[in-house]
């Protein structure tokens, strides 16, 4: 299905699940085709740590090239998102377990979490694209909290390696445009939890 978001400003909050970045960028390339204006925000870890999946500089450069915007990388720069109504919808993709738990407990100590806090003050939708090794462990309670929190929606997710990592779950990032479309209408895409990803 084709979606038309040409009149929408969509924030993209990157956190530190670096193994998901290639899938996220592929999803964003598809999202860009909808005409949306994409505004990137990087957490402190996402903007400063290198990993075997790539360097922080290369990821930020790729985000800048794709979106046409220099990523927001500080808490003070993220704070005006709400007061200035810069985003129609904000997506945290990928959303780590660390970010998920802080969001569920009202902590805003990174640029992405400050962006979420500032954005939610306007009663606008926030979408979570989950990527965490403890979704069925310590973070299960936080998923439950956020599933029942006003204006927060989830990209459908499932176990990615139920044999080796039975508690791990990641989002089906190819469903990001459909999830956004539903969230903008105040609806949670269903079903939320789906069959495990292919190994």
Query: What is the pLDDT, as a whole number, of residue 199?
Result: 52
- Architecture of the domain defined by 9-164+173-184: 3-Layer(aba) Sandwich (3.40)
Pairing of strands 37-42, 89-95: unpaired
Query: What is the pLDDT, as a whole number, of residue 2?
Result: 87
Judged by DSSP in three states, 140 sits in: helix
How much is the CA Rg of the chain, to the nearest whole Å? 15
Distance CA 37, CA 59 (A): 18
Which residues make Cβ contacts (< 8 Å) with residue 166, sequence separation at least 6? Answer: 136, 159
Query: What is the pLDDT, as a whole number, of residue 196?
Result: 80
Look up residue 44 and give its two tokens: 């402190």
Domain ranges of the chain: 9-164+173-184
pLDDT in tens, the chain (199 residues): 789 999 999 999 999 999 999 999 999 999 999 999 999 999 999 999 999 999 999 999 999 999 999 999 999 999 999 999 999 999 999 999 999 999 999 999 999 999 999 999 999 999 999 999 999 999 999 999 999 999 999 999 999 999 999 999 999 999 999 999 999 999 999 999 998 876 5
* Dihedral pair phi/psi, residue 72, rounded to 5°: -75, 130
CA atoms within 13 A on the CB side of 177: 19
Judged by DSSP in three states, 27 sits in: helix
Strands of the chain, DSSP E = 9-14, 37-42, 89-95, 126-132, 152-154, 157-159, 169-171
């Amino acid at each position: 299905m084709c979606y038309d978001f040409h009149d929408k400003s969509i924030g993209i909050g990157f956190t530190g699940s670096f193994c998901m970045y290639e899938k996220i960028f592929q999803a964003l390339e598809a999202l860009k085709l909808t005409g949306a204006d994409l505004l990137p925000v990087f957490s402190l870890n996402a903007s400063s740590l290198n990993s075997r999946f790539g360097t922080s500089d290369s990821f930020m450069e790729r985000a800048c090239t794709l979106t046409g915007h220099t990523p927001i990388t500080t808490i003070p720069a993220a704070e005006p998102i709400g007061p200035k109504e810069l985003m129609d919808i904000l997506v945290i993709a990928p959303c780590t377990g660390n970010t998920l738990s802080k969001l569920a407990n009202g902590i805003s100590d990174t640029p992405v979490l400050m962006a979420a806090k500032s954005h939610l003050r306007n009663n606008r939708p926030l979408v979570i694209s989950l990527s965490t090794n403890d979704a069925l462990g310590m973070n299960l309670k936080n998923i439950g909290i956020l599933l029942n929190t006003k204006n927060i929606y989830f990209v459908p997710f499932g176990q990615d390696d139920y044999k080796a990592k039975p508690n791990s779950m990641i989002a089906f990032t190819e469903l990001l445009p459909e999830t956004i479309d539903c969230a903008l209408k105040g609806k949670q895409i269903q079903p939320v939890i789906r069959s495990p990803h292919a190994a």
